[in-house]
Each structure stands twice: as C-alpha cells, then as structure tokens.
Amino acid sequence: MILGLILLRIVVRLVRICVRVMVNVVCVILGFFVGIEMLVDLDLCWLKQQKDALKPDRVNSGSRDNVMWTSGFVFDKGEGIVGLETDYGILRIKLLPDCAPQSVSYILELLALSHCIGCQFYRAESRGRFWDAKGNHIKKATFGPPFALIQGTLESHEYMFTDIPKEHCPAIKRGSVAWVGSGPEFFISLANHNEWRNPYTVFGYVLSEDLQIVEKISRLPTKSDVWSDIPVSILENPVFIRFRKIT
C-alpha cells in the first residue's frame, strides 16, 4: 500500500514536469510567430512581400550597401518580363527565377540602373540556310557557321560583375537568353541548338513576338573574325543595350 502511494506521487510529479515543459514550448512557438508578425508589420521581415517584383526593396546590410532585401524568388506567376532596349526595338524577355535565381538577381541589379554603359551586342549571325524560321535544323545541312545567334556583354561600367555559378536549366532553343560560361558575355539564340552538348545557364527567353528584332540585328553588316579556330561574324557597329521595366 505504501509502495503504491509512493509510485503514485512520482507519477504525479513527472506529469506536472511534462505539462510545464509543454506549456513552455507552446509559449516559445507562439512568441516566435508573434515576433514574425511584428517584424512584418514593421516592414523588417526578410520574408515580407515586395511592393514591386521588378524593383525589390534595398537595405544596408552592414557589410554591403544597398543590397536587395528578399528571400527566395521575387516574382509571382505571370510576372518577370523585362525589356532589353535597342535601337531596333525593345526585346521583351521573360526571366526564369525558378531556374536561374542568381542570374535573375543580377539582371534586376542592371534593371535598377538608369544606363548600362558597356552593355552591347557585338556579334551577329543569322540562321543562314541551316535552320528554318521556327529554329529547327534543316536536314542534311551543316550546323554553321553562321550559328544563328547574337552575342554581347552585360558587364556594366557602373556595376561590378562577379562570375555567376552555372545554373543548368532548359536546353538552348529559339529565343533562349543564356550566359557564355559564367557571364557577363551572353547570347540570344535564333535556333534550337540540340547539337550543343555543353550545358548553358538559360536565364530567360525572348517573347516570340519580338524575335523579329533579333532576326533584324542578326542581319546587320558584319566583318569576319576567328575565335579559337571558329569563324565568327562581328558587327561593324555594336548595338548598345540597356534593361528597362515593362509597364
């Protein structure tokens, strides 16, 4: 009988301890969410909604001034189209943040600049007789040159570029916008280059309605050159470019 009472008291004490621990845990969890809510109300939370998906809020991080204050991807469905302005028209480019988040982050940095001094297309090669208007390779034709692309650089004199790690995603198709290596050199493809086995970081694609502008640039006057034993066509006059927001 006495032994039973002792065991009962021990059990009661253990239950009381467990209840106290559970209450403390609940309080901590509630406190966490209350704290998060307060941060959101104060516009300090790093998970907060961006007012403008193409112009993320910027803060002083303490180690680097004016960095974008975001977490994850900044685009909602249906958003993420930027304009690449040229003398021949504006190319609307759909960015691919799910596939190439670091690349898209750099593009947003360029978008915030009023100018993109140094950004330009300097190489232009048409589809020739090797790819049709849909970008498909013509049977029995060679694979170039010309290589059905326009190439340039997105290294602005106003913003320091650092190599972007490869973010392998879609294959090179007609309209693809991709880095050469880790950038800042990039190209827009006018063909479905299924023959290119090396993976590229595709960070966007030109809307089909605007590919005529790319076609026009690819037919501008060029001069011949050779890069690493590969014949290329260099524009006689570079085409200067800059990103702009599409409204």
- Determine the pLDDT at residue 221: 98
Q: Is 213 in the same domain as 104?
A: yes
Query: How many domains, the chain?
Result: 2
The answer to the question of residue 53 being in a domain is no
CATH number of 170's domain? 2.40.100.10
pLDDT reading at 183 higher than 50 = yes
Give residue 20's pLDDT band: very low, low, confident or very high (50, 70, 90).
Answer: low
Lowest mean pLDDT: which of 84-98, 154-168, 209-223?
A: 154-168
CA separation for the pair 242, 117 (Å, rounded): 8
- Report the phi/psi class of residue 45: left, alpha or beta, with left for phi > 0 and alpha for psi in -120 to 50: beta
The answer to the question of residue 189 being in a domain is yes
The answer to the question of residue 51 being in a domain is no
The answer to the question of residue 93 being in a domain is yes
Which residues make Cβ contacts (< 8 Å) with residue 83, sequence separation at least 6?
90, 91, 92, 93, 243, 244, 245, 246
Q: 16: domain range?
A: 1-45
Task: Provide the residue type at 91 as one letter.
Answer: L
CA separation for the pair 145, 168 (Å, rounded): 25
